[in-house]
């Protein structure tokens, strides 16, 4: 748990960072994509869209012309255009579109702006909220990219085709030797301003759905100094967003109050989270009793 001085310093640094981003992100809707597909001048690392709505470098950048596969979309759209706002602890609505997190937070994950729609519905681009936002006919908010030229027709067509083809992830790697956590959103020690729609855990192997329950994983709020008790269980829904069994979502049933939180894994035989090969989750972290901590983060009140 962070010391008081570290926490105060973290808040100050976060607020300084947030003020620099204000001109980019705060004038866009803070639901799905917020300013995630970027302002014309909101193009991280000096890249973004040209006057025709094509990502700069898409004709000869990382992957050449954009194609209807996730890696190309990540390299040509999400990374250069979206992550100026949707990255790190300050990502609007917790939606991070960097390469480590974007797929796991998009595919079959409900939009926070219109919860009846998911951000990406595999095989159904018309009912995918991302598509509605970039095409400009979503029921809420402005067309994305906010304040800049729309994405070019061929770029949108590539994203639509990827969704129509089942919204598959990047090419799978060889089977790993152990089952472990690859990334989390939020990340360990993040300080979040405002509440959090969900916690995402990404793994290096497919999760066995039968091992996912309230015993295998739990979300706790750690009591602050002077509060009664040491921790309290936070009720949350656990789900695997098909067709991405490498990710697991913990969605709190009520908004998270300010405080320090942790996600713990159960290690008792038969109760552990496991992969499809029945291998239990491997963790090298300390924990509470026999249960190791997967991540810890802090939630501050709205600023």
* Residues of the chain under the 50 pLDDT cut: 1-47, 58-63
How much is the pLDDT for 38?
33
Residue listed under structure tokens 């409900």: 110
Residue 159 to residue 24: CA distance in whole angstroms: 24
How much is the pLDDT for 23?
40
Could you give the domains of the chain?
4-164 (no CATH), 181-300 (2.60.40.1220)
> pTM (2 decimals)?
0.70
Assign residue 114 a region (left: φ > 0; alpha: ψ between -120 and 50; beta: otherwise): beta
How much is the pLDDT for 87?
85
How much is the pLDDT for 103?
93
CA dihedral sign, ordered 48, 52, 54, 56: negative
pLDDT tens digits, 238-261: 999 877 888 999 999 999 999 999
């Amino acid at each position: 748990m962070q010391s008081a001085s570290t926490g105060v310093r973290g808040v100050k640094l976060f607020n300084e960072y947030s003020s620099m981003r204000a001109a980019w992100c705060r004038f866009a809707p803070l639901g799905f994509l917020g300013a995630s597909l970027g302002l014309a001048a909101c193009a991280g690392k000096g890249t973004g869209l040209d006057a025709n709505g094509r990502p700069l470098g898409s004709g000869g950048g990382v992957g050449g012309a954009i194609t209807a596969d996730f890696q190309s979309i990540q390299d040509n759209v999400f990374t250069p255009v979206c992550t100026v706002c949707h990255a790190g602890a300050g990502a609007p609505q917790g939606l991070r579109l960097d390469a480590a997190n974007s797929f796991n937070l998009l595919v079959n994950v409900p939009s926070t702006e219109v919860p009846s729609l998911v951000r990406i519905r595999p095989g159904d681009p018309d009912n995918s909220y991302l598509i509605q936002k970039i095409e400009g006919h979503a029921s809420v908010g402005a067309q994305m990219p906010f304040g800049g030229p729309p994405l070019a027709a061929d770029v949108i067509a590539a994203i639509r085709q990827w969704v129509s083809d089942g919204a598959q992830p990047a090419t799978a790697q060889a089977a790993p030797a152990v089952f472990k956590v690859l990334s989390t959103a939020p990340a360990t020690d993040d300080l979040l301003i405002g509440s959090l729609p969900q916690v995402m855990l990404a793994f290096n192997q497919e999760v066995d759905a039968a091992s996912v329950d309230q015993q295998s994983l739990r979300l706790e709020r750690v009591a602050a100094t002077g509060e009664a008790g040491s921790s309290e269980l936070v009720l949350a829904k656990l789900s695997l967003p098909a067709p991405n069994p490498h990710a697991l979502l913990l969605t709190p049933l009520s908004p998270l109050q300010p405080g320090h939180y942790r996600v713990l894994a159960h290690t008792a035989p038969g109760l552990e989270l496991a992969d499809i090969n029945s291998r239990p989750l491997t963790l090298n972290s300390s924990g509470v009793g026999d249960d190791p901590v997967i991540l810890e983060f802090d939630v501050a009140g709205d600023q």
